[in-house]
Protein backbone atom coordinates (compact mmCIF):
# COMPACT_ATOMS: atom_id res chain seq x y z
CA UNK A 1 0.00 0.00 0.00
CA UNK A 2 1.50 3.31 -1.03
CA UNK A 3 2.09 5.87 1.68
CA UNK A 4 1.01 9.36 0.65
CA UNK A 5 3.01 12.02 2.45
CA UNK A 6 2.44 15.50 1.09
CA UNK A 7 -1.40 15.72 1.14
CA UNK A 8 -1.61 14.78 4.83
CA UNK A 9 1.33 16.78 6.19
CA UNK A 10 -1.00 19.34 7.72
CA UNK A 11 -2.49 16.57 9.90
CA UNK A 12 0.85 15.46 11.33
CA UNK A 13 2.04 16.47 14.81
CA UNK A 14 4.94 18.90 14.89
CA UNK A 15 7.66 16.30 15.44
CA UNK A 16 6.32 14.06 12.66
CA UNK A 17 6.06 16.99 10.26
CA UNK A 18 9.67 17.95 10.95
CA UNK A 19 10.81 14.37 10.35
CA UNK A 20 8.76 14.01 7.15
CA UNK A 21 10.14 17.28 5.77
CA UNK A 22 13.69 16.27 6.63
CA UNK A 23 13.28 12.81 5.10
CA UNK A 24 12.13 14.34 1.84
CA UNK A 25 15.10 16.72 1.79
CA UNK A 26 17.55 13.90 2.45
CA UNK A 27 15.98 11.62 -0.15
CA UNK A 28 16.24 14.44 -2.68
CA UNK A 29 19.93 14.79 -1.78
CA UNK A 30 20.46 11.06 -2.13
CA UNK A 31 18.77 11.10 -5.55
CA UNK A 32 21.10 13.93 -6.61
CA UNK A 33 24.07 11.92 -5.29
CA UNK A 34 23.07 8.84 -7.30
CA UNK A 35 22.43 10.95 -10.40
CA UNK A 36 25.89 12.55 -10.24
CA UNK A 37 27.56 9.14 -9.81
CA UNK A 38 25.62 7.85 -12.82
CA UNK A 39 26.56 10.87 -14.93
CA UNK A 40 30.12 11.66 -13.79
CA UNK A 41 31.35 8.58 -11.94
CA UNK A 42 31.87 7.60 -8.30
CA UNK A 43 34.84 9.92 -7.69
CA UNK A 44 32.90 13.06 -8.57
CA UNK A 45 29.79 11.98 -6.71
CA UNK A 46 31.49 10.95 -3.49
CA UNK A 47 33.65 14.07 -3.38
CA UNK A 48 30.58 16.27 -3.89
CA UNK A 49 28.40 14.67 -1.22
CA UNK A 50 30.88 13.71 1.51
CA UNK A 51 31.35 15.85 4.61
CA UNK A 52 35.00 16.67 5.37
CA UNK A 53 34.92 14.07 8.16
CA UNK A 54 32.87 11.57 6.13
CA UNK A 55 33.99 7.95 6.18
CA UNK A 56 33.52 4.99 3.87
CA UNK A 57 34.42 1.38 4.57
CA UNK A 58 36.56 -0.92 2.49
CA UNK A 59 37.61 -4.43 3.42
CA UNK A 60 36.71 -3.86 7.04
CA UNK A 61 38.50 -0.52 7.45
CA UNK A 62 37.03 2.94 8.00
CA UNK A 63 38.63 5.45 5.64
CA UNK A 64 38.20 9.20 5.27
CA UNK A 65 36.04 9.55 2.17
CA UNK A 66 37.45 12.80 0.69
CA UNK A 67 41.03 11.57 1.08
CA UNK A 68 40.22 8.19 -0.48
CA UNK A 69 38.40 9.57 -3.51
CA UNK A 70 40.89 12.37 -4.07
CA UNK A 71 43.57 9.70 -4.43
CA UNK A 72 41.66 7.79 -7.10
CA UNK A 73 41.47 8.62 -10.78
CA UNK A 74 38.12 9.26 -12.38
CA UNK A 75 36.76 6.01 -13.81
CA UNK A 76 34.65 5.69 -16.92
CA UNK A 77 32.04 3.14 -17.80
CA UNK A 78 30.93 2.61 -14.18
CA UNK A 79 27.46 1.28 -13.51
CA UNK A 80 26.90 1.82 -9.79
CA UNK A 81 23.33 2.49 -8.74
CA UNK A 82 21.27 2.29 -5.57
CA UNK A 83 17.67 2.53 -4.41
CA UNK A 84 16.70 3.65 -0.89
CA UNK A 85 14.09 1.51 0.83
CA UNK A 86 14.04 3.00 4.33
CA UNK A 87 14.80 6.42 5.80
CA UNK A 88 14.56 8.13 9.16
CA UNK A 89 15.43 11.57 10.49
CA UNK A 90 15.90 13.36 13.79
CA UNK A 91 13.32 15.86 15.00
CA UNK A 92 16.07 18.49 15.09
CA UNK A 93 16.45 18.17 11.29
CA UNK A 94 20.23 17.81 11.55
CA UNK A 95 20.72 14.05 11.16
CA UNK A 96 19.16 11.32 9.05
CA UNK A 97 19.98 7.97 7.51
CA UNK A 98 18.96 6.05 4.42
CA UNK A 99 19.36 2.40 3.56
CA UNK A 100 18.51 0.17 0.65
CA UNK A 101 19.95 -1.89 -2.18
CA UNK A 102 22.92 -1.18 -4.46
CA UNK A 103 23.88 -2.83 -7.72
CA UNK A 104 26.95 -2.73 -9.93
CA UNK A 105 26.71 -3.57 -13.61
CA UNK A 106 23.81 -3.59 -16.10
CA UNK A 107 20.43 -3.04 -14.48
CA UNK A 108 18.93 -6.14 -16.09
CA UNK A 109 21.85 -8.36 -15.10
CA UNK A 110 23.93 -6.79 -12.32
CA UNK A 111 27.35 -8.22 -11.57
CA UNK A 112 27.12 -7.57 -7.84
CA UNK A 113 24.53 -6.39 -5.35
CA UNK A 114 24.08 -5.79 -1.66
CA UNK A 115 22.85 -3.36 0.97
CA UNK A 116 24.10 0.07 1.99
CA UNK A 117 23.60 2.53 4.84
CA UNK A 118 24.29 6.25 4.57
CA UNK A 119 24.23 8.58 7.56
CA UNK A 120 23.58 12.20 6.66
CA UNK A 121 24.34 15.39 8.59
CA UNK A 122 23.16 18.90 7.81
CA UNK A 123 26.07 21.28 7.32
CA UNK A 124 26.30 24.90 8.43
CA UNK A 125 25.61 25.88 4.82
CA UNK A 126 22.27 24.07 4.96
CA UNK A 127 23.45 21.34 2.59
CA UNK A 128 23.21 17.66 3.49
CA UNK A 129 26.46 15.66 3.37
CA UNK A 130 27.11 12.09 4.35
CA UNK A 131 29.25 11.39 7.41
CA UNK A 132 29.23 7.60 7.03
CA UNK A 133 28.62 5.30 4.08
CA UNK A 134 28.89 1.55 4.56
CA UNK A 135 27.97 -1.22 2.14
CA UNK A 136 28.12 -4.99 2.08
CA UNK A 137 27.78 -7.51 -0.71
CA UNK A 138 25.79 -10.72 -0.64
CA UNK A 139 26.00 -13.81 -2.76
CA UNK A 140 22.69 -13.46 -4.59
CA UNK A 141 22.88 -11.14 -7.59
CA UNK A 142 19.53 -9.45 -8.01
CA UNK A 143 18.42 -5.98 -9.04
CA UNK A 144 15.92 -5.98 -6.16
CA UNK A 145 17.79 -7.71 -3.37
CA UNK A 146 15.98 -5.89 -0.57
CA UNK A 147 12.28 -6.93 -0.49
CA UNK A 148 11.36 -3.45 0.74
CA UNK A 149 13.14 -1.85 -2.21
CA UNK A 150 11.35 -4.10 -4.67
CA UNK A 151 7.94 -3.21 -3.28
CA UNK A 152 8.61 0.48 -2.74
CA UNK A 153 10.49 2.58 -5.27
CA UNK A 154 12.40 5.69 -4.22
CA UNK A 155 9.25 7.81 -4.44
CA UNK A 156 7.66 5.68 -1.71
CA UNK A 157 10.45 4.99 0.78
CA UNK A 158 9.32 3.49 4.07
CA UNK A 159 10.12 4.88 7.52
CA UNK A 160 9.71 3.73 11.15
CA UNK A 161 6.18 3.59 12.48
CA UNK A 162 7.19 3.42 16.14
CA UNK A 163 6.72 6.96 17.53
CA UNK A 164 9.96 8.70 18.41
CA UNK A 165 10.39 10.05 21.93
CA UNK A 166 10.02 13.75 22.61
CA UNK A 167 13.07 15.79 21.73
CA UNK A 168 15.42 15.92 24.70
CA UNK A 169 18.45 18.10 24.01
CA UNK A 170 21.42 17.34 26.24
CA UNK A 171 24.60 19.15 27.12
CA UNK A 172 26.50 15.93 26.40
CA UNK A 173 24.35 13.85 24.01
CA UNK A 174 27.27 11.85 22.65
CA UNK A 175 28.14 10.74 26.17
CA UNK A 176 24.62 9.43 26.71
CA UNK A 177 24.81 7.24 23.65
CA UNK A 178 28.37 6.12 24.37
CA UNK A 179 27.25 4.91 27.81
CA UNK A 180 24.41 2.95 26.19
CA UNK A 181 26.75 1.53 23.54
CA UNK A 182 29.22 0.33 26.16
CA UNK A 183 26.42 -1.28 28.14
CA UNK A 184 25.26 -3.09 25.01
CA UNK A 185 28.80 -4.25 24.21
CA UNK A 186 29.39 -5.60 27.71
CA UNK A 187 26.08 -7.48 27.67
CA UNK A 188 26.63 -8.85 24.15
CA UNK A 189 29.96 -10.38 25.17
CA UNK A 190 28.22 -12.41 27.88
CA UNK A 191 24.91 -13.25 26.18
CA UNK A 192 24.65 -12.26 22.48
CA UNK A 193 21.16 -13.61 21.80
CA UNK A 194 19.62 -12.18 24.94
CA UNK A 195 21.25 -8.80 24.36
CA UNK A 196 19.99 -8.41 20.80
CA UNK A 197 16.50 -9.44 21.84
CA UNK A 198 16.56 -6.85 24.61
CA UNK A 199 17.91 -3.94 22.57
CA UNK A 200 16.70 -4.52 18.99
CA UNK A 201 13.74 -2.43 17.86
CA UNK A 202 10.68 -4.27 16.57
CA UNK A 203 11.47 -2.49 13.29
CA UNK A 204 15.19 -3.21 13.52
CA UNK A 205 17.34 -4.07 10.54
CA UNK A 206 20.39 -6.35 10.66
CA UNK A 207 22.83 -6.46 7.75
CA UNK A 208 25.36 -9.28 7.52
CA UNK A 209 27.77 -10.03 4.65
CA UNK A 210 26.51 -12.84 2.46
CA UNK A 211 22.88 -12.45 3.54
CA UNK A 212 19.84 -10.54 2.37
CA UNK A 213 18.55 -7.75 4.62
CA UNK A 214 17.06 -9.03 7.87
CA UNK A 215 14.19 -6.79 8.93
CA UNK A 216 11.41 -6.59 11.48
CA UNK A 217 10.29 -9.95 12.86
CA UNK A 218 12.92 -11.75 10.78
CA UNK A 219 15.65 -9.70 12.42
CA UNK A 220 14.18 -10.48 15.82
CA UNK A 221 14.22 -14.21 15.09
CA UNK A 222 17.77 -14.18 13.75
CA UNK A 223 18.92 -12.17 16.77
CA UNK A 224 17.99 -15.16 18.94
CA UNK A 225 20.95 -17.08 17.52
CA UNK A 226 23.67 -14.62 16.47
CA UNK A 227 26.54 -17.08 17.01
CA UNK A 228 29.69 -16.29 18.94
CA UNK A 229 29.98 -12.87 20.56
CA UNK A 230 31.88 -10.05 18.89
CA UNK A 231 34.23 -7.70 20.67
CA UNK A 232 33.06 -4.25 19.57
CA UNK A 233 35.17 -1.14 20.18
CA UNK A 234 33.43 2.20 19.44
CA UNK A 235 35.55 4.88 17.79
CA UNK A 236 32.95 7.47 16.73
CA UNK A 237 29.71 8.44 18.46
CA UNK A 238 27.37 11.16 17.29
CA UNK A 239 23.86 12.14 18.37
CA UNK A 240 21.34 14.53 16.83
CA UNK A 241 20.60 17.74 18.70
CA UNK A 242 17.13 16.43 19.55
CA UNK A 243 18.63 13.45 21.37
CA UNK A 244 16.42 11.01 19.48
CA UNK A 245 18.76 9.57 16.83
CA UNK A 246 22.43 8.71 16.84
CA UNK A 247 25.06 6.44 15.34
CA UNK A 248 28.16 4.60 16.44
CA UNK A 249 31.11 3.48 14.31
CA UNK A 250 33.74 1.12 15.58
CA UNK A 251 35.91 -1.93 15.06
CA UNK A 252 35.01 -5.55 15.66
CA UNK A 253 36.69 -8.90 16.01
CA UNK A 254 35.87 -12.41 17.17
CA UNK A 255 37.49 -15.85 16.97
CA UNK A 256 36.44 -17.77 13.90
CA UNK A 257 33.61 -20.28 14.46
CA UNK A 258 35.34 -22.41 11.81
CA UNK A 259 38.38 -24.35 13.03
CA UNK A 260 41.57 -23.29 11.29
CA UNK A 261 40.10 -20.09 9.88
CA UNK A 262 41.40 -16.61 10.82
CA UNK A 263 39.44 -14.53 13.28
CA UNK A 264 36.84 -12.13 11.96
CA UNK A 265 37.85 -8.48 11.96
CA UNK A 266 36.29 -5.40 10.49
CA UNK A 267 34.11 -2.39 11.23
CA UNK A 268 30.54 -1.89 12.33
CA UNK A 269 27.93 0.82 12.01
CA UNK A 270 25.12 0.92 14.53
CA UNK A 271 22.17 3.32 14.51
CA UNK A 272 20.19 3.98 17.67
CA UNK A 273 16.73 5.53 17.90
CA UNK A 274 14.94 6.71 21.06
CA UNK A 275 11.35 5.44 20.88
CA UNK A 276 8.45 6.79 22.92
CA UNK A 277 7.68 3.60 24.84
CA UNK A 278 10.78 1.43 24.60
CA UNK A 279 13.42 4.16 24.93
CA UNK A 280 16.73 3.80 23.09
CA UNK A 281 16.56 0.86 20.69
CA UNK A 282 18.90 -0.56 18.08
CA UNK A 283 17.40 0.52 14.77
CA UNK A 284 20.08 -0.84 12.45
CA UNK A 285 23.39 -2.67 12.51
CA UNK A 286 25.74 -3.42 9.63
CA UNK A 287 29.00 -5.37 9.78
CA UNK A 288 31.73 -4.81 7.19
CA UNK A 289 34.31 -7.60 7.43
CA UNK A 290 37.92 -7.78 6.32
CA UNK A 291 38.79 -10.21 3.50
CA UNK A 292 39.43 -13.75 4.67
CA UNK A 293 37.16 -13.51 7.71
CA UNK A 294 35.00 -16.56 8.33
CA UNK A 295 31.73 -14.84 7.45
CA UNK A 296 28.39 -16.60 6.83
CA UNK A 297 28.22 -19.02 3.93
CA UNK A 298 27.70 -17.30 0.57
CA UNK A 299 29.59 -14.17 1.52
CA UNK A 300 31.31 -12.17 -1.21
CA UNK A 301 34.04 -9.54 -0.66
CA UNK A 302 32.87 -6.31 0.94
CA UNK A 303 31.21 -3.99 -1.56
CA UNK A 304 32.75 -0.65 -2.44
CA UNK A 305 29.73 1.55 -2.91
Which value, in Å, is the radius of gyration of the alpha carbons in the chain?
A: 18
For residues 254-268, give the mean pLDDT.
84
Q: In which domain, by residue range, is 182 found?
A: 173-289
pLDDT grade, residue 15 (50/70/90)? low
Provide mean pLDDT across the span 118-144: 86
Averaged pLDDT, 282-295: 84
* 165 in a structural domain: no
In a domain, 302, yes or no: no
Indicate whether 88 and 177 sit together in one domain. Answer: no
Same domain as 144, residue 30: yes
Q: How many domains would you assign to the chain? A: 2
pLDDT in tens, 169-225: 776 689 999 999 999 999 999 998 889 999 999 999 999 888 878 887 767 766 766
pLDDT at 214: 83
Same domain, 96 and 29: yes
H helices of the chain, in order, are 14-40, 42-49, 65-70, 147-151, 173-190, 192-199, 216-223
Same domain, 139 and 280: no
Cα distances from 296 to residues 100, 119, 137, 257, 288, in angstroms, run 20, 26, 12, 10, 12
Residue 92: inside a domain, yes or no?
Answer: yes
Residues 76 and 184 in one domain: no
pLDDT recorded at residue 78 = 65
Cα torsion angle, 115, 110, 72, 28, sign: negative
CATH number for the domain including 132?
3.10.450.50
Lowest mean pLDDT among 126-130, 138-142, 149-153, 161-165: 149-153
- Looking at residue 213, its pLDDT comes to 81
Q: Residue 8's pLDDT band (boundaries 50, 70, 90)?
A: very low
Is 207 within 8 Å of 226 (Cβ atoms)?
no
Question: Stretch 268-289: mean pLDDT, rounded?
Answer: 96
Q: What pLDDT was estimated at residue 145?
A: 41
Within a domain: 197? yes
| Same-domain status, 11 and 150 | yes
pLDDT at 76: 61
Amino acid sequence: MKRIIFPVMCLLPGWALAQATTRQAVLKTEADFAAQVAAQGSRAGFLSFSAPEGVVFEEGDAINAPALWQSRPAATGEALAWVPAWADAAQSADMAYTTGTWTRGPRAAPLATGQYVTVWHKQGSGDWKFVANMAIEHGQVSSSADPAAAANPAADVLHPLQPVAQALPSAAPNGVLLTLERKFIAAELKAPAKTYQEYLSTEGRLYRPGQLALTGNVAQIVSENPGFAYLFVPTTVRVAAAGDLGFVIGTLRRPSPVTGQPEETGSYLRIWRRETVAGWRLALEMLNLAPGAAAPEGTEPAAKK
